[in-house]
Amino acid sequence: MPLVIAIDGPAASGKGTLARRIAQTLDLPHLDTGLLYRAVGARCLKDGVLEDEAASLAAARMLDLATLDADSLRDAETGAAASIVAARPAVRAALLDLQRAFAARPGGAVLDGRDIGTVICPDAPVKLFITAAPEIRALRRYKELLGRGADVTLDGVLADIRERDARDSGRASAPLAKAGDAVEIDTSDLGIEEAFAAAMEIVRLKSGGR
Ligand code: CDP
């Protein structure tokens, strides 16, 4: 079986940074699946149709991985819109094949998101669940957004993270959840290097020297 590494966790837990570093280190392709939902959310926001299920489904069906522009999708408003469209089962279903095809690349792949270990790649040999306390995640996201020149407050970012956590964990369709065979890493007290070392240790153990 190819080396598929599934990385899940809540907003700003550090899963994206870890996924990128692991993919780079192992020379594997990486898919940030949050970008798919962000792209659908951004399209709906732009067209003023966020409440329209059919419009979000059409946007999901038209999505093309090759044209995703990550930088334009990282703002807080797009994150909130992503979480709204991501709660719709039809939108999730429309994005399933694309994610599974990515994971089925012959050499393996790293995917990060909310439901990779539970729904997209339940047979992945390596599953990580990355967490951190909400206040710490809010501070990280606040600094990231400030760095992008966004006009945000720490309280506002924390409220947004709590709201998104509740929506992502509480939805009926593929909620954010730790797979039974995933290994959890709490990055609250870990720097990037420490979290990366902990993650690579688990990858080595679980991949059996593949
Ligand atoms: O970077 P951050 O963790 O804030 O968010 P993201 O990973 O870009 O995901 C944005 C939103 O997309 C999440 O709040 C989820 O609602 C949704 N999402 C999902 O439902 N399933 C995934 N596999 C990835 C993201």
**Tally of domains in the chain:** 1
pLDDT at 155: 97
- What does the alpha-carbon distance between residue 174 and residue 137 come to, in Å, rounded to a whole number? 22
Q: What is the pTM of this model?
A: 0.95
pLDDT digits 0-9 by tens, 132-141: 999 999 999 9
Here the CATH number for the domain that contains residue 138 is: 3.40.50.300
pLDDT at 176: 93
Range of the domain at 103: 3-206
Strand 126-131 vs strand 30-32: parallel, antiparallel, or unpaired? Answer: unpaired
Residue of 63, 115, 168 with the most ligand 1 atoms within 8 Å of its CB, for mutation? 168
Report, as an integer, the average pLDDT of 44-60: 97
If you measure from the C-alpha of residue 82 to the centroid of ligand 1, how many angstroms do you get, rounded to a whole number?
7
User: Does any ligand 1 atom lie closer than 6 A to the CB of residue 131?
Assistant: no
Mean pLDDT across the chain: 95
Contact between 129 and 6 under an 8 Å Cβ cutoff? The reply is no
